[in-house]
Chain A
Amino acid sequence: MAGPWRSTVSRVMGAMKTQTTQPKSFSRGMQTVTLIPGDGIGPEISTAVMKIFEAAKAPIQWEEKNVTAIKGPGGKWIIPPEAKESMDKNKIGLKGPLKTPIAAGHPSMNLLLRKTFDLYANVRPCMSIEGYKTPYTDVDLVTIRENTEGEYSGIEHTIVDGVVQSIKLITEDASRKIAEYAFEYAKNNQRASVTAVHKANIMRMSDGLFLRKCRQVAENYRDIKFTEMYLDTVCLNMVQDPTQFDVLVMPNLYGDILSDLCAGLIGGLGVTPSGNIGANNVAIFESVHGTAPDIAGLDLANPTALLLSAVMMLRHMGMHDYSKKIETACFNTIRDKKVLTGDLGGKSKCSEFTAEICQRVRDMD
């Protein structure tokens, strides 16, 4: 039993010896970004995003890479070396949905990417989209989820026949890193408060450690309000009045549940952007919906999620004017309701929706 968790611990400890993430300043020249189109509707929506970026004349050069897992030396599943090299060089990536074939032998692709680049923070800004009506209006919050440990360590054992134990791992370093990222994000994006979500009344030591680290980091950011709230209270209040929340930071499982809950508030995974921040300033932005194999290749897909993730990417790179332009064009198109894809309640094709956004972007110049 010591084996698996000790290797996890040493891997986690090893990854700590990196510098803290700083907002990078990018030159005004062309920036290369690794693009992973993905499977199913992935290629169509990636093409849509590339077209819109071209229309906006954003200084982005795309480097398309495939990340189907291959067996590396030593028998371990790895992503292709060219893809890894490209990401390490460019530091920024945009990813479409990836499928995980059952019984392919290799672990989930998302998990592999996460492990390869040590993507420790998953960030999902959830903002109500005007024009796409849901019962919840005025949602404007960000969920920041620790992505490497917690309940998803994958360490499970059958102790006796009929009794299974799953281990939830919380470490000081990972908690500190995610807390620091959360406060940095709040500072860089002018957010007023950070709320730590926990269940320390029941899981005293583990969530207690997470909370302590959050409190310690909060000391260094006096101008940002820090509060703590139980997971159940957050859930209860979230469905009654989501406007009271700003930035939420939490361990893995709670983050998984809450980020999907918040995505549901604004309209589902088809319109929710997501970004993963890793060590060494690597950041991969992705759409979190599935590959939708039933509509793949039929020009019916909705590229909004990938587009908004790409906008998040631009913001991360400091290109605020381009990001604002594209985001406004996208939201205006949805608000006008004239050209909408099937899932948004319209009848248009993906290419028509994309063309409409491109036209709006061009008109804005």
Chain B
Amino acid sequence: MATVKPLPPPAKYGGRHTVTLIPGDGIGPELLNHVRELFRFSCVPVDFEVVNVCSSTEDDINNAITAIRRNGVALKGNIETLHTLPASHKSRNNLLRTSLDLYANVMHCKSLPGVQTRHNNIDIMIIRENTEGEYSSLEHESVTGVVECLKIITRTNSLRIAEYAFKLAREKGRKRVTAVHKANIMKLGDGLFLQCCREVAAGYPDIAFDAMIVDNTTMQLVSKPQQFDVMVMPNLYGNVVSNVCAGLVGGPGLVPGANYGHDYAVFETATRNTGKSIADRNIANPTAMLLASCMMLDHLKLYDYATMIRNAVLTTMNETRVRLNSPRRCSPHTFHN
């Protein structure tokens, strides 16, 4: 069974941390500018090393990966993947996640009091396996007109993610972990994942464990999302479920996400949208990125700064009673704190 090494302390020189910043495409650069402005304003002892990833060669992404290895922590926007390019051009975001072995994607969806949504009292933690499953990018055209795509599930990674989920659940005082799968159809693949979850669950008798098939899960999420506590699942179902949950609590602009590995941590918005259609128009919601930067500050053990910024963001959200479908100006919100 995989043992979890304690994370080494992040780089800190002269009392200041250095964090890799990857602006990405679309709304990424403007959101990260807001983060930088806010940090400067609040005198947060964090310096950003900016690495741009925009060319079509592998050099840029390799530079970014090296920078993250150096600093241990990163804050990033989404890098666009043009799917008209051939299959040899892998998704840059995926490459980053697999190279740094950021095996756990964690997202906490909580209903915000100032945001009007159809469902209330949602408080779900989603832990998604981040490196294998359907995102293995192993495809081939065996015969013309017939393409095979491989979904890989391994015992090691399934045990690892299940262990992470239960440990996190215990740390946060959560009562139940639900594994999401499709083992009735993918008997070997998802069957292995489910079996690993059950094995790990046996070691945590204080936490209830159950399993739910992914299509039933989405149906339950849109009718009664309050029944879920902590959810753990392979990569693709994680993609679907995290987007559904983000939509339930108010949209992609509100939920932060974190990718954790043994040695590195990368923070971003939970739904990883490039937002090309709203880029550079000063209407993108910076909340998700700001809350992600707070998660990053918690990770760097700068708890006071994290709490201060988080409170400022949430107070602004709740007091101005934001209605998310109306166009909002982005920058005045930031300086309201």
- Residue B247 CB within 8 A of the other chain: yes
Contact bitstring B219-249, A, C-beta under 8 A = 1, else 0: 1111100000000000011011011101110
| Interface presence of A154 (CB below 8 A) | yes
Contacting residues, chain B, for A135 (C-beta < 8 A): 118-119, 222
Is A202 interfacial (CB-CB < 8 Å)?
yes
**Interface of chain A residues 190 through 234 with chain B (CB within 8 A):** 199-209, 211, 231-233
B147 touches A268 (CB 8 A): no
Known: A5-B142, A257-B214, A260-B216. A170 touches B118 (CB 8 A): no
Residues on A with beta carbons closer than 8 Å to the beta carbon of B39: none
User: Known contacts A257-B240, A264-B220; is A169 also within 8 Å of B145 by CB?
Assistant: no
Q: Is A15 an interface residue (CB 8 A)?
A: no
Q: Are A169 and B148 in contact (CB under 8 A)?
A: yes
Min CB distance B183 to A, Å, is 11
- Tell me whether A152 is interfacial, beta carbon within 8 Å: yes
User: Does A156 have its Cβ within 8 Å of any Cβ on chain B?
Assistant: yes
Pick the interface stretch among B81-89, B295-303, B308-316. Answer: B81-89
Residue of A nearest to B94 (CB): A202
> A163 touching B148 by the CB < 8 A rule?
no
> Looking at A170, A211, A257, which has the most chain B CB atoms within 10 Å of its CB?
A257
Interface residues of B in 130-145 (CB under 8 A from A): 134-135, 137, 139-145
Whether the pair A263, B219 counts as a contact (CB closer than 8 A) is yes
Give the Cβ gap from B99 to chain A, nearest Cβ, in Å. 16
Contact B155 A205 (CB under 8 A): no
Contact A240 B251 (CB under 8 A): yes
A262 to chain B, nearest CB (A): 9
A135–B91 alpha-carbon span in the complex (Å): 36
Residue pair A163, B146 in contact (C-beta under 8 Å): no
Contact of A168 among B149, B154, B237, B247 (CB under 8 A): B149
With A and B bound together, what is the CA distance between A211 and B85 in angstroms? 13
Given known pairs A204-B139, A205-B140, the reply for A156 and B186 (CB within 8 Å) is: yes
Instruction: Tell me the bound Cα distance from A136 to B134 in angstroms.
Output: 31
A171-B147 in contact (CB<8A): yes
A-side contacts of B135, CB under 8 Å: 202
Stretch at the interface among B64-72, B187-195, B326-334: B187-195
Inter-chain contacts of A208 with B (CB < 8 A) = 83, 87
A70 within 8 Å of B (CB atoms): no
Known A164-B188, A200-B83, A239-B247; judge A169-B146 contact (CB<8 A): yes
Contact A236 B149 (CB under 8 A): no
Closest Cβ neighbor of B143 among chain A residues: A9
Contact in complex: A167, B219 (CB < 8 Å):
no
| A343 touches B (CB below 8 Å) | no
In contact, B141 and A205 (Cβ under 8 angstroms): yes
A270→B316 CA distance, assembly (Å): 42
> A89-130: contact bitstring with B at CB < 8 Å (1 yes, 0 no)?
000000000000000000000000000000000000000000
Query: A163 CA to B192 CA in the complex, in Å?
Result: 9
Centre residue among B89, B149, B251 by max chain A CB count within 10 A: B149
Judge whether A19 is part of the interface by a CB distance below 8 angstroms. Answer: no
B218 within 8 A of A: yes
- Number of A interface residues, CB 8 Å? 58
- Docked pose: A65 CA to B24 CA in angstroms: 60
B202 within 8 A of A: no
| Pick from A161, A165, A201, A209: contact of B152, CB under 8 Å | A165
Q: Report whether B243 and A166 are in contact in the complex, using a CB–CB cutoff of 8 Å.
A: no
Identity of the chain B residue whose Cβ is nearest the Cβ of A228 in the assembled complex: B83
B271 interface residue, CB < 8 Å from A?
Answer: yes
- Tell me whether A156 and B91 are in contact (CB under 8 A): no
Give B248-276 as 1s and 0s: 1 = Cβ < 8 Å from A's Cβ atoms: 10011000000000000000000111000
- A201 to B87 alpha-carbon distance, docked (Å): 9
Q: Contact between A9 and B152 (Cβ–Cβ < 8 Å)?
A: no
Indicate with 1 or 0, residue by residue over A133-166, a CB within 8 angstroms of chain B CB atoms: 0111000000000000001101011100111111
Q: Which residues of B approach A to under 8 Å, CB–CB?
A: 81, 83, 85-87, 89, 91, 94, 118-119, 134-135, 137, 139-156, 182, 185-189, 192, 214-216, 218-223, 236-237, 239-240, 242-244, 246-248, 251-252, 271-273
* Subset of 25 A-B contacts with CB under 8 Å: A135-B119, A156-B186, A162-B155, A162-B156, A164-B154, A166-B153, A166-B186, A168-B149, A169-B147, A201-B81, A203-B134, A204-B87, A204-B137, A205-B139, A205-B147, A208-B83, A209-B147, A232-B242, A232-B272, A236-B252, A257-B218, A257-B237, A261-B221, A261-B244, A268-B223
Residues of A that sit less than 8 Å from B by CB:
5, 9, 134-136, 151-152, 154, 156-158, 161-173, 199-209, 211, 231-233, 235-240, 253, 256-261, 263-265, 267-269
Closest 4 CB pairs of A and B: A264-B219, A239-B247, A162-B155, A172-B145
- Besides A170-B149, A202-B94, 7 other CB < 8 A contacts? A135-B119, A135-B222, A203-B137, A206-B148, A208-B87, A257-B240, A264-B220
